[in-house]
Amino acid sequence: MINLKGEHIYLRALEPEDLDFIYEIENDQSVWEISSTITPYSKFLIKQYLENAHKDIFEVKQLRLVICNTDDVVLGLIDVFDFDVKNKRAGVGVLIKDESNRQKGYSKEALKLLIAYCANHLDLKQLYCNISEDNNMSLKLFKASGFNIVGLKKDWNLVNGSYKNEYLLQRILK
């Protein structure tokens, strides 16, 4: 059995009941920078996305899991994207929705569970993430989780009329 339960949180698949939560996140302009979003999403489109969320990671090349605390409160999302079977690698990203739930160790625990899942069940050799140069909390999180900065992409993302640099971080699993 796959264990996606930690001490304070667990990871679960998306459910139809997550529609409003996903809608709020996808339409929160304060997080568009990290998701490269430039337009709002309708509930109709998100409902369609949720209806297809059951598809296999080997088919759709991505996996989104919901981060919940032990009281079953939905805290955030953790993603595997650009799943590359041939090269045994994928990108990862994590988001805790409410600022009041950030810096409490939830992302770190979720990332630990996801890393183990990727290594042991998806047989991945490496994971990577892209983090804006000024996102100190995410840099600290991923470095503490064994990721190393392997590059800096200059003027990579246009945000509010200014270009920002972005770090590429990588973790070799095996």
pTM of the model: 0.91
The Cα–Cα gap between 21 and 111 comes to: 20
The 10s digit of each residue's pLDDT in 3-30 is: 799 999 999 999 999 989 888 888 877 7
Structure tokens at 55: 């598809």
- Residue with tokens 């630990």, as numbered in its chain: 112
- Residue with tokens 């929705």, as numbered in its chain: 97
Does 1 score more than 50 pLDDT? no
The 10s digit of each residue's pLDDT in 77-123 is: 999 999 999 999 999 999 999 999 999 999 999 999 999 999 999 99
- The pLDDT assigned to 138 comes to 95
48 HSE (CA, 13 A, CB side): 4
Q: 8-12, 43-47, 163-167, 168-172: which range is least confident on average?
A: 43-47
**Within a 10 A sphere around the Cβ of 84, how many other Cβ atoms?**
13
Listed by start position, the domains of the chain span 9-127
Q: Which CATH number fits domain 9-127: 3.40.630.30, 1.10.8.640, 3.40.50.11540, 1.20.140.10?
A: 3.40.630.30
CB 67 within 8 A of CB 106: yes
* Helix segments in the chain, DSSP class H: 19-26, 32-35, 43-51, 57-60, 106-120, 136-144
